[in-house]
Amino acid sequence: MADIEQNYQIKYTEKWGSYLQQEASRLDKYVTVENGLTGKMVTFDQYGLLAFEEKVSRMGQTVLMEAPTLRRVMYPHIYTKAVGFDEFDAKKLANIDVPVSKTIEGLRAAAGRCMDKVMLDAFLGENYIGENGTMPVAFSENQIVESDYVDSGSAVDSNLTVAKLRKALAMLHKAEAWNEERRAYGDELVLACTSSQIDSLLREPQVSSYDYNTVRALAEGKVDTFLGFRIIRTELLPLDAETGERSCLAWVKSKAQFGIWDDFKVKISVRDDLDEALQIRAKFACGATRLQEEAFVKIQCTES
């Protein structure tokens, strides 16, 4: 007679689970957003700085100067994704439903991550200016806090430190890109970093007990500000695999431009050309650009 173990059954789940993932955009609340954009590009015309010159002669000739203007250009990036299910998938799945709602949730989450990536790529990368929007502008080398920056002593590569944050803040202050009065008008000072940088702050021996408690609360999700920066944790910041350097970014909200040509949309349809397969297709179009170089500071952090 066979052992009863040979008749043991397998119990399958009747619900779909989800992989761990970032489920929505984390940056869209901390940039300036314009919706309903159209055209192959959108321009942002800006007026530059004026300065007086001292009058040194009597009844001298008036000299007219051109108005200092600059045109910044933003281009759209179009994204689509389609997921399909065969007409007999529902029958073959038996007690578990075709994961239509899970697919839509997954597409929405993927769109949020993609939008964050568009913003970070634009804010850290090449932008375009000029009448026709064809002149490239790289991230300014003057707006970088290097990985080996220290307040004093020998330079040594490090992860995020309080000294680096103070340096970034000082650079924004010096350029008049930020002052606390801007908060009254809804502006914010933002810092995007990963969990590694938050952990690095916790490990700093010279951090005062007050600052340590603030950073610890930040790591636990209880607060989201430090040294005036609104801290946004994102694991999408670029990492140089060879050097181990992570590019973190500080910016002023009003100077970080994000635009939406077509917001996230989902369409469910039956594909007669594919044996009546069910198609779930999502799409969106967006773009981003820096509006002023001095309002951004890249902080290089070496992750061990």
What's the pLDDT tens digit per position in 85-104? Answer: 999 998 988 888 888 999 99
Checking if the pLDDT of 210 tops 70, the result is no
Q: Over range 58-68, report the average pLDDT.
A: 91
Using alpha carbons only, give the angle 274, 275, 279 rounded to the nearest 5 degrees: 55
Per-residue pLDDT band for 302 (boundaries 50, 70, 90) equals very high
Q: In what order do the strands lie in the sheet with 32-34?
A: 32-34, 256-271, 277-290, 77-85
Per-residue pLDDT band for 24 (boundaries 50, 70, 90) equals confident
Q: 283 - beta bridge partners?
A: 80, 265
CB atoms within 10 A of CB 61: 5
Checking if the pLDDT of 79 tops 70, the result is yes
- What pLDDT, on a 0 to 100 scale, did the predictor assign at position 127? 97
CB atoms within 10 A of CB 206: 10
Q: 233 - beta bridge partners?
A: 193
d(CA 250, CA 255): 11
* pLDDT-wise least confident of 13-17, 100-104, 165-169, 221-225: 13-17
Q: Over range 248-266, report the average pLDDT.
A: 96
Q: Over range 76-86, report the average pLDDT.
A: 96
Both structure tokens of 49? 């700085």
- What pLDDT, on a 0 to 100 scale, did the predictor assign at position 12? 60
- Strand, coil or helix: 67: coil
Q: 82 - beta bridge partners?
A: 281
Average pLDDT, the chain: 89
State whether CATH 3.40.50.720 applies to domain 28-49+67-127+259-289: no
- What pLDDT, on a 0 to 100 scale, did the predictor assign at position 266? 94
Both structure tokens of 292? 């002023």
Higher-confidence residue: 168 or 24? 168
